Amino acid sequence: DAILLCGDAVYALQPGSAPLAALQARGEALALYVLAEDHQARGLEVPAWATSVDYPGFVALSIHYDKVNSWL
């Protein structure tokens, strides 16, 4: 499984935040992707243990994984 942060979900990467601590606690067991357009628009850095992807990368992820769930 993997998680793609997009839209306002990228605020989970704010330094010192509880969501970032929870993501970090998952360590290497978590495949975390962040939509580049969204983290760049909000001025947030992507941690070294996460991967920034563009829209073609987003599409590739949706093809790679069997199910795609999104929460608003």
Say which CATH number the domain at 19 has: 3.40.1260.10
Span 32-70, pLDDT tens digits: 999 999 999 999 999 999 999 999 999 999 999 988 787
**What pLDDT score does 27 carry?**
78
Query: Per-residue pLDDT for 72 more than 60?
Result: no
**Is residue 40 situated within a structural domain?**
yes
**Is residue 30 situated within a structural domain?**
yes
How many structural domains comprise the chain? 1
pTM over 0.85: yes
Residues in the chain: 72
**Is residue 72 situated within a structural domain?**
no
Return the higher-pLDDT residue of 19 and 29.
19
Q: Domain range spanning residue 8?
A: 2-64
High-pLDDT (> 70) share of the chain, %: 97
